[in-house]
Amino acid sequence: MAINFIPNDPLTLASMPIRTQAPRPDRPAGAAGFSIQNPVAEDLFAQGTPDFLFWQCREAALMALETWESLAGTLAEWGIPGPDPTRLPVFPNDGLELNAYYDRESLRFFEHSTAGKSTFSGASTDVVAHETGHALLDAVRPDLMNRILGGANPLPEINAFHESFGDCVAFLTALSDPDTRAALLAVAPDLGTANFVEALMEDLADGVLRFLGPDHPSAQPRRALNNFQWELPTLLPASGPPAVLTGEEHSFSRVFTGCFHDTVRNIFNSGQDRTEGTLWTAAQTAGKLLIAAARKAPETARFFQAVGRAMVLEDQTLNAGAHRDAIVRAFDGHGIRLGSAAMTAPRAALAGGAPRMAAAVGSVLTRATRRDLMERMGIQPGSRMVVDTLELGGEPLAKAVYHRSVSLTGLAAGLEGVVALAPEPVLVGAVGARAALLSALPEPVTTEDEVRSYVSTLVAAGRIELPEGRRRARRRGAVASATQSSLPTHAIRVRGDQKVLVRLRFLCGRH
């Protein structure tokens, strides 16, 4: 038996046509998989039918998961609550929206019609792989979504990285397909010209273009081959048309995606032969480094650089530094200097003895070291610091994270008295028998600037469910307008004695 499958995107069928293939087998019990809603028996269904959408969505999700596992090993379970963390529920068509999302409970895709043309977000392998990418990253780095503390991670680069990671998974998923690689190299032999693989979610962007016009931020596909240069997100506009780099997370994510694309491209072009086989090897090399770095990079305000540096360090461990130049040049091309791998060089001696890496989490750092750190970071004595250990570039390290509560008062009506909890990580190692600081000390003012600037982008895009907006929506009968999102990404919840900004979902369409 066989199914019809769109390997890339409904709008790129001229480059990579719909094809008939055997569906991937069901996932084994005991490994992460999906529970796809509304199953139908396998058959050759026509594009645009619900039965087609079931098999298309299933195949795309499994393809993304398989791609991840070829780089990072078997995934045992997702970071989702509920009785079965091995089966992530997937809704191939959950109703009328021009969107797709991951909300730590499910992946959801939708249908939307404009001018007689329908957009099914679940019909695009790009979109399904992107959302699966959010879920994969969340499975290994739940702190980047920060629901651990019942909040939202409010740093711009960390949220933009989550979006970029979804796009990198979509890019890698496309490259995992031999026919796609052959078609790609026919039009872009050195990956240096625009093509259907580096362009992501074409059909969904076209739906936004038809519905909301060319100036909407999502009215063009995001492109991994781009020339966007990193800038401090606090200095970028809160929103703008597709061609403009803004602080909005999808827009800003393009800088990191460009760095990753160019890492693949540099590794590929540094080889002797350029074949679809060596392209997959280059993509796998870069993909492994990306995943390893994403697992380990400290969640600083400058997260793009932190991940890039961790890629260099991991390359040292995994490949004896063979791709260092390829990585450094790729990031340099987007304005991110990785410098030497000085992420883990001692900067200052700290009070107390060397961290006890093998000790229980509570006693990795001595009391004297913790006290010294808190004093240097301007933290109230008795505040909570989360301490963990990790290995980076072959070196054991301790990571201590303080969550600074940043006031959102003044950013929008409804945010008075609301706070966001922002991570401030520091790395601690040893110099001889002494504890030593291995990273820059976070500055409270920088944390506040970054958080407030990020939340301004959410306000500009209407993504926070504010109590006032909810009341208004109820009065109007909950009909969402073109400008007000019916799917907010953030909301305000009471946690203890604080009103805290929390993330509800990563949303990837009209916003």
Q: Which two tokens stand for residue 189?
A: 């032999």
What's the 3-state SS for 158-225? HHHHHHHHHHHHHHHHHHCCHHHHHHHHHHCCCCCCCCCCCEECHHHHHHHHHHHCCCCCCCCCEECC
The CB-of-133 to Zn ion minimum distance in angstroms stands at: 8
The CB-of-137 to Zn ion minimum distance in angstroms stands at: 10
The string over 231-253, giving b where at least 16 C-beta atoms fall within 10 Å of a residue's C-beta and e elsewhere, is eebbebebbbebeebbbbbbbbb
Nearer to Zn ion, 139 or 508 (CB): 508
Nearer to Zn ion, 92 or 166 (CB): 166
Nearer to Zn ion, 172 or 508 (CB): 508
Nearer to Zn ion, 163 or 450 (CB): 163
The CB-of-205 to Zn ion minimum distance in angstroms stands at: 13
Q: Which residue is nearest to Zn ion (CB)?
A: 508
The CB-of-353 to Zn ion minimum distance in angstroms stands at: 44
Cα–Cα distance measured from residue 72 to residue 32, given in angstroms and rounded to the nearest whole number: 13
Nearest residue to 243 (alpha-carbon basis) of 226, 261, 231: 226
Nearer to Zn ion, 181 or 505 (CB): 505
Q: How far is CA 216 from the centre of its chain?
A: 22
Nearer to Zn ion, 121 or 263 (CB): 121
Q: Which two tokens stand for residue 160?
A: 């933009």
Nearer to Zn ion, 90 or 508 (CB): 508
Half-sphere exposure in the Cβ direction for 176 (13 Å, CA)? 23
The site for Zn ion (CB under 5 A) is made up of 163, 166, 506, 508
**How many CB atoms neighbour CB 486 within 10 A?**
14
The CB-of-503 to Zn ion minimum distance in angstroms stands at: 12
Q: Are 427 and 438 in contact (CB under 8 A)?
A: yes
The CB-of-211 to Zn ion minimum distance in angstroms stands at: 19
| φ and ψ of 180, to 5 deg | -65, -40
The CB-of-130 to Zn ion minimum distance in angstroms stands at: 6
SS3 107: strand
